[in-house]
């Protein structure tokens, strides 16, 4: 009888898991390189590239000026960096020191990264990963608290990923680096110090699948990124009250895994969406539209959407907290959806 080998595990912070994924892919493929602000000697603002410069050197860990539009798009004609480099067959990983400032590179991401495969008639692939910290931190101010997932949602040609644990961060980043399409890879600024056991052996995770975090029968909760942990926190209290919720971490924000969502709704017939994105035009709005199109007759009650307030995030700590969904709101929403 053959005994299956159980993989050894190492406890990692999320930023270490991202570093490990980057390191493994750079070792495996010399076409992979990292470019961004302070990614080299300094090791990245959140230490995702710490010590990689000494291992790979200036040509593969490239420090740039503070000019997101330049280092994201430079090379469309002279074929040196990022999107231009991807056209030539390299695999750039762009680190946005803060994802809020990728708005400066919106034109390059939308009109070049997202569209060049199509507008070239398929002659060019754009294997590029644009990753970095986003979301509401702790008193980072409005300009550093953006949630850009909804901004990029409408751009054809992009894949959008939101990691939420060290385990899925590593497996998803490795898959994103190997993918031949442009991938926007969101990391939440408050999850970098999250710790979890991660397998020592190599693994990849699919870029188009949601994760059923917890099975249940009463209500389907759709969430992603940091809100996954708020939902889990709320579930501790909900379990004591005998509510049996199903929690789904979307992970892939584009494309959305409607197969997993539809199977869950067929069981629960009720949906709660919990997001940190703004309510107007957010990911939740897209989810409601898709659910109404594909699952309308499975829904017993109107969908509830818990989202951030439609205002610039305040610097004041108490006001900042009030703009973001809290576990007690999730508990009350479940009680409203599930009749007792």
CATH of the domain at 219: 3.40.50.920
What is the number of helices (H) and of strands (E) in the chain? 13, 14
Contact of 138 with 190, CB cutoff 8 Å: yes
Per annotation, catalytic residue among 25, 37, 53, 68: 68
How far is it, in rounded angstroms, from Cα 99 to Cα 87? 23
Q: pLDDT by residue (tens digit) across 132-164?
A: 999 998 888 888 888 899 999 999 999 999 999
Q: Which of 164, 199, 234 is the last residue of a domain?
A: 199
Beta-carbon-side half-sphere exposure of residue 87 (alpha carbons within 13 Å):
23
Element (H, E) at 127: none
How much is the pLDDT for 64? 83
How much is the pLDDT for 72? 57
Q: Which of 137, 126, 139, 176 is nearest to 21 (CA)?
A: 176
Q: Is 252 a member of any domain?
A: yes
Contact of 232 with 283, CB cutoff 8 Å: no
- Residues 153, 156, 158, 159: what is their CA dihedral angle, to the nearest 10 degrees? 60
How much is the pLDDT for 75? 37
Q: Is 2 a member of any domain?
A: no
Which distant-in-sequence residues (6+ apart) come within 8 Å of 36 by Cβ?
44, 62, 63, 64, 71, 94, 95, 96, 97, 132
Q: Is 17 a member of any domain?
A: yes
Which distant-in-sequence residues (6+ apart) come within 8 Å of 197 by Cβ?
9, 10, 11, 12, 167
Q: Is 205 a member of any domain?
A: no
Element (H, E) at 286: helix 283-295
Per annotation, catalytic residue among 25, 53, 144, 211: 144
Q: Is 105 a member of any domain?
A: yes
Domain hosting 119: range is: 11-199
Sorting pLDDT into bands at 50, 70 and 90, what band is 69? low
How much is the pLDDT for 81? 56
Sorting pLDDT into bands at 50, 70 and 90, what band is 71? low
pTM, two decimals, is: 0.92
Q: pLDDT by residue (tens digit) across 1-37?
A: 344 455 799 999 999 999 999 999 999 999 999 998 8
For residue 76, pLDDT over 50 is answered with no
68 as an active site residue: the answer is yes
CATH of the domain at 177: 3.40.50.970
144 as an active site residue: the answer is yes
Our count of domains for the chain comes to 2
Q: Is 55 exposed, middle or buried (0-12, 13-18, 19+ CB in 10 A)?
A: exposed
Chain-centre distance for alpha carbon 23: 20
Same domain, 217 and 189: no
Which distant-in-sequence residues (6+ apart) come within 8 Å of 4 by Cβ?
none
Q: Which of 199, 219, 238 is the last residue of a domain?
A: 199
Same domain, 63 and 182: yes
Q: Is 276 a member of any domain?
A: yes
Q: Is 5 a member of any domain?
A: no
How far is it, in rounded angstroms, from Cα 294 to Cα 126? 31
Same domain, 221 and 191: no
How much is the pLDDT for 339? 82
């Amino acid at each position: 009888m053959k005994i299956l080998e159980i993989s050894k595990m190492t406890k990692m912070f999320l930023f270490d898991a991202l570093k490990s994924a980057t390191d493994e892919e750079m070792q495996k493929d010399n076409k992979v390189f990292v470019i961004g602000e302070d990614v080299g000697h300094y090791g990245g603002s959140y230490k995702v590239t710490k010590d990689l410069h000494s291992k790979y050197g200036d040509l593969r860990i490239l420090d740039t000026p503070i000019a997101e539009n330049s280092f994201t798009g430079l090379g469309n004609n002279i074929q040196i960096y990022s999107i231009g480099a991807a056209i030539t067959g390299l695999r750039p990983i762009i680190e946005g020191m803060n994802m809020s400032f990728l708005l400066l590179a919106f034109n390059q991401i939308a009109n070049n990264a997202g569209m060049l495969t199509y507008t070239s008639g398929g002659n060019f692939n754009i294997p590029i990963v644009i990753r970095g910290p986003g979301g509401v931190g702790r008193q980072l101010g409005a300009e550093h608290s953006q949630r850009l997932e909804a901004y990029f949602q409408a751009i054809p040609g992009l894949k959008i990923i939101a990691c939420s644990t060290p385990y899925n961060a590593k497996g998803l980043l490795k898959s994103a680096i190997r993918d031949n399409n442009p991938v926007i890879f969101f990391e939440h600024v408050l999850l970098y110090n999250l710790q979890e056991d991660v397998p020592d052996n190599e693994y990849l995770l699919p870029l188009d699948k949601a994760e059923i975090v917890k099975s249940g029968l009463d209500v389907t909760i759709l969430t992603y990124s940091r809100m996954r942990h708020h939902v889990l926190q709320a579930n501790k209290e909900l379990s004591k009250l005998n509510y049996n919720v199903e929690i789904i971490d979307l992970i892939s924000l584009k494309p959305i895994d409607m197969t997993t969502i539809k199977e869950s709704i067929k069981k629960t017939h009720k949906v709660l969406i919990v997001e940190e994105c703004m309510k107007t035009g957010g990911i939740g709005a897209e989810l409601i539209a898709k659910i109404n199109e594909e699952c309308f007759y499975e829904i017993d009650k109107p969908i509830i959407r818990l989202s951030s307030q439609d205002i610039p995030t305040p610097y004041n700590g108490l006001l900042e907290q009030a703009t973001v969904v809290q576990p007690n709101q999730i508990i009350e929403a479940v009680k409203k959806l599930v009749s007792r």
